[in-house]
Amino acid sequence: MATQQKPTGTPVLASGKALAWIDERFPLSSTWKAHISEYYAPKNFNFWYAFGSLALLVLVIQIVTGIFLVMHYKPDANLAFASVEYIMRDVPWGWLVRYMHSTGASAFFVVVYLHMTKALLYGSYRKPRELLWLFGVGIFLCLMAEAFFGYLLPWGQMSYWGAQVIVNLFGAIPFIGPDLSLWIRGDYVVSDATLNRFFSFHVIAIPLVLIGLVVGHIVALHEVGSNNPDGVEIKKNKDANGVPLDGIPFHPYYTVHDILASAIFLIVFTAVVFFAPEMGGYFLEYNNFIPADPLKTPPHIAPVWYFTPFYSILRATTSQFMYALIAGVIAYVALVLLKTRLSGAIKTAIAVIGAVIVIAMFVFDAKFWGVVLMGASVVILAGLPWFDHSPAKSIRYRPTWHGYVYLVFGIAFLALGYLGVQAPTPVGTLVAQICTFIYFGFFLLMPWWSTMGRFSPVPDRITFQPH
């Protein structure tokens, strides 16, 4: 009697049954289809659209390396620096994990800044993606908080004194400033209490908020759909099955695209980690390899490079600069009153608010307004969807001179970043003050300049040349 052989498709059937069992209890297949295989993205993506996936990759690197660092780090003022040295010298491959984490922090901001540049160029913050942009700004704020809280943890000279300077800035806030600084530090100076609370925020609190915002960012993106270099909504043109005519499935077309971008990124990232992890003192300052000494102040205290554009705005706000700011506020209020079609009540409210701000500029000192401008320079990004009134989203269909406006803004931002690293000089301060006006003018004057000039007609369908 011949023995009965098992069908060759048994493993496939078993995996199918396992998937069906999961789908009955968890929407695995439907989630995969909705967000990956049947999520239709514009077919004219270029290299700018890889930075969102790269940001997610760096987030994973930071979380994984952070977990391994926490296993050996001691959040104690007497042991923190020694524990970092222990990780670098005695833990197997600890030096690699530490350098991946420190390099990853800078890489995160490089990728995020480029991702935001793409949004500026192609109008990815415009309707219907306002909430998507606000999630992104929230992620950026969380990254800055995460980097700030993590900056103290090595307990080196620059970590200690950098945290001391930044926390003391809150003392410039009228009435509540001194108590707020004391509450943040947990002591009258940066001490063990400060280290412990910064460690808690860096390892637990901020990452939880950050992950939540990232999930919200991705869900919002897949709800409204991705923007594209033409700024055309692909959902407006669909076939009989409801599939966008100018869309292609994210998988496999853009998963391959992102894998290639990730491979290139990891090659560059690895080269930096192995050959230049300090990056000439920009990624890891030389003073941070010296234990924190509360009795010895470094000759020049400056934050890490990704904070320096905003720190430069803070330093540029001097007593003399306040007169220029007052003139700027008066001129801007006059522009709003004369060149807008707002109702009389709203114009009256704007005039009153402007008058209050001008009076407050005479009452409170320049240090306070420096802190205000530094905070406003980040928060103002959230208003971008409502500042931009351009008929075309993408820079491709805007007047040529709009590109020069973006270029001047970019140069001013880079100049602020460079000056924030350098020791203050009279010439450097003057340049930083000019760049501060350019930075804020770019956003506050956008309702007017974004509508000026001759715009090219925006096509109904996206333009695409296969390659």
Task: Mark the binding-site residues for a ubiquinone, compressed into ranges.
Answer: 222
Tell me how crowded residue 12 is: count the other CB atoms within 10 A of its CB.
10
Give me the amino acid identity at 60: V
Handedness of CA 445, 312, 277, 89 (dihedral sign): negative
Contact 56, 42 (CB under 8 A): no
Yes or no: say if 146 and 202 are a contact pair by the CB < 8 Å rule. Answer: yes
Q: Is the peptide bond between 249 and the residue preceding it cis, with omega within 30 degrees of 0? A: no
Q: Known binding site for heme b: residues? A: 101, 115, 202, 217
Binding-site residues sit at: 101, 115, 202, 217, 222
Give the H/E segment covering residue 224: helix 206-224
CB 291 within 8 A of CB 157: yes
Nearest to 265 by CA among 44, 58, 109, 101: 58
Q: Which two tokens stand for residue 298?
A: 């470094």
Q: How far apart are CA 107 and CA 265, in angstroms?
A: 10
3-state SS string over 264-317?
A: HHHHHHHHHHHHCCCHHHCCCCHHHHCECCCCCCCCCCCCCHHHHHHHHHHHHC
* Site of tokens 């930083």: 432
Report the chain's C-alpha Rg in angstroms: 26
Sign (positive or negative) of CA dihedral 125, 131, 133, 137: positive
Burial code of 23-39, b = ≥16 C-beta within 10 A, e = fewer? eeeeeeeeeeeeeeeeb
Query: DSSP 3-state assignment of 247?
Result: strand
Phi then psi for residue 38, to 5 deg, are: -120, 20
411: Cα separation from own chain's centroid: 18
Helix (H) or strand (E) holding 351: helix 344-363
Q: What tokens were used for 434?
A: 């000019």
- For 213, what's the count of Cα atoms within 13 Å in the CB-facing half-sphere? 19
Picking from 424, 214, 225, the residue whose alpha carbon sits closest to that of residue 315 is 424
| Closest by Cα among 431, 435, 425, 330 to 373 | 435
